Chain A
C-alpha cells in the first residue's frame, strides 16, 4: 500500500499501521511510543515547511528529543497552512472543520485513508461497537453529500464493517432535515427484532429527533444498543447540559447512561478517543479515581497509538496527572499530516484516561478584545 509519502514516510506509516492492526486492546510501551512519535515528528518537519515553522516558533529549531519538549501544532494552523507531508497531487481526501461560509475552515488532507479507517474501526470496536452487527441510525449527512465531513466518513466505515444487511439507508438526514419517519421505522424495527441499534451522529440532531417525535413516543432499544452524540450543537439547535441530553436519550430510546458513549475526535486527527466506563473488565484500561462514583464516569480513553496530555496554557509544558491544562494530542495515525496537535480544549489527564472540560468557561475577554473580534468579523 502507498500512503503517497517518501520512502522514510512509508516505512513510518507501515510501523504505525502494524500497531493499529493489533487493535485498541494491545499495549504500546511508553518508550516505544515516544521513540516512534519523535521519529515521525522529526520526519514531518522535513516534509512540511509549515510544521517546521510552527515547531521552530514554539520550541526552537533543534530536534525534539523527548515528548516533554514537544510543542504541538495548534489546530488553527490547519486554517492558514497546508499541513501535509505529501504533494498536492497525492491528496485523495480533504476533511474540513465545520463553520459558516464566512469562517476560515481548517483542512486536513489525506493521501491514503486506510490507516484512518483501520484506526477508526479498531477504537470503535473496543469502546463503541463491540457487538457483531448493528442496525445503524445515523444522524448525520450521508458521506456522498458531505465528502469533507470526517464524521460522515467515520460513520460510513462503521456501516461497512458492522451493518446489518438491509435495504434501508442508515442515513437519517435528508437535505439538512431529520427524516423522522425513517428514524422511527428503524428504532421500531430494533425494538421488535432485538437487533442492537447504533444511534450515532451530531448532538444537535438528537435534539431534532426528540423535538420531531410525538410527546409520548418512546422506544425501548434492545440490549447492546448504543448512542453516540458528538460534535456539539454548533448553533443548530438549543443547547442542553450533558445530563439533560442523556436524560432525553434515555427517555426516548430507553438507553441507560452506560449505553451512551461520547467520542473525542476532531477534523485534525485520524483517531478518536471514547468514553470508557469506570467499571470495566479490562482493569488495566479503566480509569480509576477514589473521587469517581462507582457507576459510569466521564473519562475518555485513547487507543494505544494516541496519547493525550494536559499542558500548561502559557508555557505548553506537560502537566502532571490531575492538573488542569489544555489538551495536546499525539496521534501516530496522523503520519501524513502532523502527529502532534495542540487543541484549545481544557482538560485533565489521569493514569488511564483524560477528562475534557470544554473551553474555559466564563472567561471574560479583556478590554476591547471580544468586541474587536466581533466587529472585525462583521467587517470582513
Chain B
C-alpha cells in the first residue's frame, strides 16, 4: 500500500469521524454564526465528498511531495478549513502548518486534531506575519494563502527566495435563469443556494439574473421559497452592525425597486432595469432582468474576474459560451452551488502563484 493510499485512507477515517462529531457541529455554529440546522447540513455536505475514489484521484498527482507547506486560512464559510487542510496532504506535502482564520479557529483546530496521525499541526498565532516567519524558519517552501487581495499581495511580496505562494482570493457567485427554465422549481433551487451558509460563501449567489423583460415574477417566487426554507434552515444570528447594514441596503433598494419582498430573514428586490447591485449577504438578493447570459455577465464588469460560480436554471450552454474560454468559474445546476465536487478547492479559479514551481 502506497503512502498516498494510506494518507487518503487516514483522511477518509478522520472525515468520517468528523461527520459524526457533535462537537464539530458546535464548532461550525460558533465559527460561522450559523444555525444548528445549517451546521448539520454543512457538515454532512462537506464531508460527503471525501469518498475513497475521489481521494485516490486527488492523491494521484502529488505535486507537493517533500515540501513543507504553510496554509494561511481566512474568514470564509466555516467548513472551508476541511478542504484547505486536506488538499495539501493529498498533494503529498511532507508537513502542513495551519494558521486558522481569526475568529473562526475552532473547526480548523478540530480538523487538525482528527488528522493527528498525519503530519499537520495548527499554529494559532494572532498575526499571519509571525506565523509565516516561524514557518519559513522551519523550512516551509510553499504557502497556500486565502484572504483579501491586500493580505495576499503582502504575503507574496514578503516571501523569501525559494518559497512559492499560492494566493487564493475572495470571490462570489451569481445565478442565471434561462427563459426556458421552470420559474417555481428554479426559484426553489436558487433559494437553497442563497440560504446555504446564509449567503456568506465565495460560491453564494449575490444576484440573480433572469432572462425576462421583468424580474418581478421570479422575485416573488424566490421570496416565497426563501420564506419556506427559513423554517428548515434558519438563518444564524446577526450582529448589530450587520443587521444595520442589511436595513440600510433594504431601504436603499426598496426605494427604487420594481418590487421588494422582505421577510424576517430575507430580502428580495426585483430591479426595474438591468444592473448589478451588491448584497450584504444574509439572504438578501437582487433579481435583475436581462436579455441573455451574455448580458448578465456583461453587467458584472470588472467584477467578472472574481466570479467563482454560476448557478443555472435551464440550459448551461449559453452561460458557458458567455464565459470566456479562460474562465474557470464553475457552471452548475441551480441548487448545487454550495456542494462542489472534490475536484480541488471550492473556488475553482487558479491561484495567483508567486515564486518557483
Contact A74 B306 (CB under 8 A): no
Chain A contacts for B76, CB-based, 8 A: 367-368
* A314-B243 contact, Cβ under 8 Å, with A53-B260, A376-B303: yes
- A379 close to chain B: CB less than 8 A: yes
Query: Taking the complex as formed, is A25 at the interface, i.e. its CB lies under 8 A from any CB of chain B?
Result: no
The yes or no answer to B134 lying at the interface (CB within 8 A) is no
Q: Which residues of A contact B244 (CB under 8 A)?
A: 313, 326, 344, 346, 359-360
Contact, CB under 8 Å: B302 / A379: yes
* Contact in complex: B200, A76 (CB < 8 Å): no
Q: Quick one: which of B251-304 are within 8 Å of A by CB? A: 251-257, 260-262, 264, 278, 280-281, 301-303
CB of A363 within 8 A of chain B? Answer: yes
Contact of A375 among B75, B149, B251 (CB under 8 A): B149
Scoring A residues 339 to 380 as 1 if CB is less than 8 Å from chain B, else 0, what string do you get? 000101010000000000001100111111111111110111
Say whether B252 contacts A344, CB under 8 Å.
no
A79 to B280, CA, bound (A): 16
Contact A74–B250 (Cβ < 8 Å): yes
The smallest C-beta distance from A362 to any residue of chain B, in angstroms, reads 9
Minimal beta-carbon separation of B296 from chain A (angstroms): 16
A378 / chain B contacts, CB cutoff of 8 Å: 302
Is B189 among interface residues, defined by CB-CB distance under 8 A? Answer: no
Contacts of B264 in A (CB 8 A): 314-315
Could you tell me if B255 and A77 are in contact, using CB atoms closer than 8 angstroms?
yes
The answer to whether A374 and B148 touch across the interface, beta carbons within 8 angstroms, is yes
Interface size on A, residues (CB 8 A): 45
Cα of A367 to Cα of B200 in the assembled complex, Å: 5
Interface size class of chain B, counting residues whose CB lies under 8 Å from the partner chain? 35 or more
Chain A residue contacts of B170, Cβ below 8 A: 368, 371-372, 375
B230 CB to nearest chain A CB (Å): 13
Q: A360 contacts which chain B residues (CB < 8 A)?
A: 239-241, 244
Residue of B nearest to A74 (CB): B251
In the complex the two chains form, is A363's CB within 8 Å of B242's CB? yes
Q: Which residues of B contact A325 (CB under 8 A)?
A: 240
Complexed CA–CA distance, A135 and B202 (Å): 57
User: Does the CB pair A53–B75 fall under 8 Å?
Assistant: no
Q: Are A372 and B206 CB-contacts (below 8 A) given A80-B252, A366-B33?
A: yes
Any chain B CB within 8 A of the CB of A316?
Answer: yes
B-chain residues with CB within 8 Å of residue A51 when the two chains form the complex? 255
- What's the nearest-Cβ distance from chain A to residue B251, in Å? 3
Least CB distance from A54 to B in Å reads 5
B11 within 8 A of A: no
Interface residues of A in 56-75 (CB under 8 A from B): 56-58, 73-75
- The answer on a CB contact under 8 Å between A313 and B250 is no
A316 with B247: CB separation less than 8 A: yes
Partner of B172, one of A56, A316, A346, A368: A368
Query: Considering only CB atoms, which chain A residue lies closest to B260 in the complex?
Result: A57
Given contacts A374-B148, A375-B149, A379-B303, contact A76 B243 (CB under 8 A): no
B32, B102, B201: the one contacting A368 at CB < 8 Å is B201
B198 at the interface (CB under 8 A from A): yes
Contacting residues, chain B, for A369 (C-beta < 8 A):
200, 280-281
Q: Mark A76-90, 1 if CB is under 8 A from B, else 0.
A: 110111010000000
Give the complex CA separation of A346 and B249 in angstroms: 17
By the criterion CB–CB under 8 Å, are B75 and A366 in contact? Answer: yes
- Is A76 a contact partner of B251 (Cβ separation < 8 A)? yes
Taking A363-B242, A369-B281 as contacts, is the C-beta distance between A344 and B248 under 8 angstroms?
yes
B251 and A376 form a contact (CB under 8 A): no
The 12 listed contacts between A and B (C-beta, < 8 Å) are A58-B254, A74-B248, A74-B250, A77-B255, A80-B255, A326-B240, A326-B244, A364-B75, A367-B202, A369-B280, A370-B148, A379-B306
> A346-B241, A367-B197, A372-B278 provided; 10 other pairs, C-beta below 8 A?
A57-B250, A81-B255, A324-B240, A326-B244, A344-B244, A360-B240, A363-B239, A367-B32, A367-B77, A378-B302
